[in-house]
Structure 1
Amino acid sequence: MRGRRPLPSGLGAPSDDPGASLAPALDVPWLEPFPDARFDLEARTDLRLAWVAAVQYLPARQRAVLVLREVLGFSAAEVAEQLGTTVAAVNSALQRVRAALAGAGDAHAVTEPDDPEVREVVQRYMHAFEAADVPALVRLLADDAVLEMPPVPLWYRGSGDYGRFMERVFGMRGTGWAMRALTANGQPALAAYAPQSGGGHRLHTLQVLTVIAGRVARNVVFADPRVFDAFGLSHETPADQFRGER
């Protein structure tokens, strides 16, 4: 597993069971999002494309080389040391990455988080999620939308299975969610706060969205407290915390 940072979609086939077990796989060093505040504008653009490529196209080793070399700016020798390989192997992997991305049209079709169309899609997704309105969420999804939830190895492909799983989530957690918009990996992201019985909300997940052609094509959902802390997110909040942040 050394050097690997997978997502669930890289480890097995999608599920079609909305009631499947949500047991986490804690022995896997899952791919995690980066707070955009750590990077300048140019680096965020590179990071956005690297993330999209990582979750959709590249094997684990090539994904690691792409992020370390092209986004974080490590030398080939430094990357080789971190991954336990050779400089020649790192350079070869980077060449394969560039060849793969040259034909990956969807990666370059992903628009910026502040693109007006993306902002509208994200706003509509937020409102639908807050209302626990599954049909409205499904209307915003691409037909082959992917939902994955590290450290849970379970994942879904297709708007139908996505919607059925969301029915399970809202059935368990209820309505009246609160959402906060932010960015991660140069992409739109949402902090989702679940309602608490005594009032207010508790942080439930950080969701990183990939929006292509006006639809949500992928949602990578993180529930690891370490991810929350990396983004400086409050774990609990009053009910009206995010009013006015739209």
Structure 2
Amino acid sequence: MTMSEVAQMTVDFTREAERCRHELRVHCYRLLGSFDEAEDLVQETFLKAWRARDTFEGRSSFRAWLYRIATNACFDVIDRRPALAVAEGVPTADVPWLQPFPDALLDAEPDAEVVARETIELAFLAAVQHLPARQRAALVLRDVLGWPASETAALLEDTVPAVNSALQRARVTMRKHLPQRRADWSGEPNPREKAVVRKLVEATERCDMELMASALREDVTWTMPPQPERHSGRDAVMELCASVMVGPGAFGEWKVVRTWANRLPALANYARKPGEELFKPVALDVLRIEGDAIVEITTFPSDRFPLFGLPATL
């Protein structure tokens, strides 16, 4: 093969692979729940595919071939992880590797299919993490991506009956873990949800505990991956908020920048201590709202701010 032919092969491979980058990243993210690991595995997928390019025989599409490599790479990660406790309604705190996915990146590719809220929301991702690897892949490939059973079986190198069986078991487990009112979710925030977000922003910036409490449902939960903490109930959540917003342990003044993660409203919180000039990053809160109240807050460390394009200081 001449140098020019090698160069053209490289160009063709890169072009075809890059067309799949976005969807492969979302696919790996759904399987793993970790944005950082999904990013790494897409790169690993491309490297493995390039090294094995001579073995691609065209029996499936190039896209399906990349999906097989990416899925198997995800299986390797899943196999190395500790098993999660099996219980109904397990909160996001029980998935220490869970990370948010910025909506800006979900929508970055102009030709990419719209990622539906119910297939990327944190509650869905946390539930998926409780499935064995092959059930997890069967669910994502069949129910989320809409692959036929035959193509899914080919990717997993299994039979159609085995894939259908894995899918049914996965669906049963998912029903145990997903919020009961999940079917009521809409693709866009409604006016009541927007009002709740505005109320929480105002309450935070004013350190108004009474107003903040009014934005929370009585059974609200607050989790903070990767920390194994779960605060349940409005009183417990308000006690935590008060510890950093009022009294001797207060962080100082607060400012909030609104953003979006996993098709949910998210708030980037900044605080300025007494005597300091700038507001510094504290944490990113992703909100799940039902009706006119917040039912779940998932807080992520401020190291996620750069990924969301958020300023280092205010």
The answer to whether TM tops 0.5 is yes
Shift of 1:37: 2.0
Normalized per residue, the structure richer in helix is 2
Q: For 1:213 and 1:145, how far apart are their aligned partners in 2?
A: 13
Offset, 1:229: 2.5
Tell me the distance in 2 between the aligned counterparts of 1:187 and 1:114.
8
Kindly state the Cα deviation for residue 213 of structure 1 after the two structures are TM-superposed: 1.4
- Is 2:217 the partner of 1:139? no
Give the secondary-structure state (helix, strand or coil) at the position aligned to 1:145: strand
Q: How does 1:166-177 map to 2 (within 5 A)?
A: 166-171=241-246, 172-177=249-254
1:175 offset after TM fit, Å? 4.2
**Equivalent residue in structure 2 for 1:184, among 237, 257, 261:** 261
SS of aligned partner of 1:234: coil
**In structure 2, do the counterparts of structure 1 residues 7 and 215 end up closer, same or farther at CA, with 3 Å as the change threshold?**
farther
Bigger Rg, structure 1 or 2: 2
Shift of 1:210: 0.2
Whether the aligned pair in 2 keeps the contact of 1:33 and 1:184 (CA below 8 Å) is yes
Do the aligned partners of 2:282 and 2:302 also contact (CA within 8 Å) in 1?
no
Do the aligned partners of residues 169 and 77 (structure 1) sit closer, same or farther apart at CA in structure 2, a change above 3 Å counting?
farther
Q: Distance in 1 between the 2:115 and 2:231 partners?
A: 30
Offset from partner CA, 1:19-55 (integer Å, 9 cap, x none): xxxxxx9xx851111111232473143434x433344
Aligned counterpart, 2:124: 53
Q: Report the CA distance between 1:207 and its aligned residue.
A: 0.6
Whichever residue aligns with residue 294 of structure 2, its letter is: V
Letter in 2 for 1:51: L
* Corresponding residue for residue 233 of structure 1: 310
Matched residue type, 2:130: A
- Name the stretch that deviates more: 67-76 or 210-219: 67-76
Q: Which amino acid aligns with 1:33?
A: P
> How do 1:43-122 residues align onto structure 2 when only pairs under 5 Å count?
43-48=115-120, 50-55=121-126, 60-61=130-131, 65=137, 69=141, 76=152, 92-99=165-172, 105-122=180-197
Q: Give how far 1:87 is off.
A: 9.3
| Gap change, CA 1:215 and 1:94, over 3 Å in 2 | farther
CA contact (8 A) 2:118 2:124 kept: no
Q: Deviations over 1:43-83 (max 9, x none)?
A: 143434x433344x5652269548854557898579969xx
Residue pair 1:135, 1:163 contacting (<8 A) in 2 also = no
2:105 to 35, 38, 49: 38
Q: CA deviation at 1:89?
A: 7.4
Structure 2 distance, partners of 1:229, 1:78, is 39
Shift of 1:174: 3.5
1:6-45 pair list within 5 angstroms: 29-40=96-107, 42-45=114-117
**1:134–1:163 CA contact under 8 A, matched in 2:** yes
Higher strand share: 1
* Aligned-pair CA distance for 1:110: 3.3
SS at match of 1:180: strand
Q: How many residues align?
A: 220
The equivalent residue for 1:21 is: none
Distance of 2:154 and 2:281 partners within structure 1: 37
5+ residue gaps in structure 1?
Answer: 15-24, 238-246
Unpaired runs of 5+ residues, structure 2, are: 1-75, 108-112
Tell me if the contact between 2:220 and 2:232 (Cα under 8 Å) persists in the aligned partners. Answer: yes
Identify which of structures 1 and 2 has the higher relative contact order when contacts are C-alpha pairs closer than 8 Å and 6+ apart: 1
